[in-house]
Amino acid sequence: NAGVTQTPKFQVLKTGQSMTLQCAQDMNHNSMYWYRQDPGMGLRLIYYSASEGTTDKGEVPNGYNVSRLNKREFSLRLESAAPSQTSVYFCASSEKWASGNTIYFGEGSWLTVV
Amino acid sequence: AQKVTQAQTEISVVEKEDVTLDCVYETRDTTYYLFWYKQPPSGELVFLIRRNSFDEQNEISGRYSWNFQKSTSSFNFTITASQVVDSAVYFCALSEGALTGGGNKLTFGTGTQLKVEL
């Protein structure tokens, strides 16, 4: 019953370093997402992949890149980390891209940029 | 633009009390979907319920119940006989339909921290 699995769970980066958050889902879902959670702001969509082979910007894409490696995997890359990217990152997936499809989330990745 | 407001930042109750978490939404769409998620202290986000805009029936699942009222654009969540294990942050979220471009983008409220004490 893995669902959505993301790694690493915790990471500390220095300003300017790069890193990739990995995500995989085993529910055969078509759509995948990356959200960030900041205190007092709820969750905000960074990027999404409506289906394998496509990716699009969400609400807060600046400073990030994504790769939909295959149907199961969707990675998020920080090329040059900044303190403003200190956040909790959630990968998620849904069966389809259509509105209303339930989105299932991973356990979160806590990232601190110093 | 769509918006979700959870005006209650933090609520504290004593175990066995009933508690209602408020959620008010704004949307121009006639077709939309509302969700509640739970985030326990361990940090993961757990899906609780999904409701579409055409279904105004209240939903009950054990100690949990949801009251959807389109007239007041609200989708409130009540926990009956609260327990310590209910302590978590609860998020309400909205997904709009085709009128605003479609797709499955969730707009989240800022969450309500519920603390249930013995």
pLDDT one-digit tens code per residue, B68-91: 999 999 999 999 999 999 999 999
Residue of A41, A103, A105 with shortest CB distance to B110: A41
Work out the minimum CA distance from B44 to partner chain A, whole angstroms.
Answer: 4
Using an 8 Å CB-CB cutoff, list chain A residues near B106: 43, 45, 103
Answer yes or no: is pLDDT of B2 > 90: no
Name the residue in chain B with its Cα closest to that of A38: B110
**What number of helices (H) and strands (E) belong to chain B?**
0, 12
How many Cα atoms within 13 Å fall on the side-chain side of residue A36? 20
pLDDT for residue A1: 61
Answer yes or no: is pLDDT of A39 > 90: no
pLDDT for residue A2: 73
Beta-carbon contacts of residue B18 (< 8 Å; ≥ 6 apart): B78, B79, B80, B81, B82
Q: Which of B3, B24, B27, B45 best tests the A interface by mutation, with the highest count of A CBs <10 A?
A: B45
Q: What percent of chain A has pLDDT over 70?
A: 99
- Asked if B91 and A96 come within 8 Å (Cβ–Cβ), the reply is no
Name the residue in chain B with its Cα closest to that of A94: B104
Where residue B7 falls among pLDDT bands split at 50, 70, 90?
very high
How far, in Å, CA of A34 to CA of A47, rounded?
5
Name the residue in chain B with its Cα closest to that of A57: B105
Answer yes or no: is pLDDT of B11 > 70: yes
How far, in Å, CA of A81 to CA of A43, rounded?
19
Amino acid at B92: C
Work out the minimum CA distance from A79 to partner chain B, whole angstroms.
Answer: 25
Residue of A90, A94, A96 with shortest CB distance to B45: A90
Q: In the beta sheet, which residues pair with residue B69?
A: B74
pLDDT by residue (tens digit) across B21-70? 999 999 988 889 999 999 999 999 999 999 999 888 888 889 999 999 99
Which has more pLDDT, A2 or B30?
B30
Where residue A41 falls among pLDDT bands split at 50, 70, 90?
confident
Residue of A44, A94, A110 with shortest CB distance to B104: A94
DSSP 8-state code for residue A79: S
- Asked if A100 and B4 come within 8 Å (Cβ–Cβ), the reply is no
For residues B70 and B63, is the Cβ–Cβ distance under 8 A? no
Where residue A10 falls among pLDDT bands split at 50, 70, 90?
very high
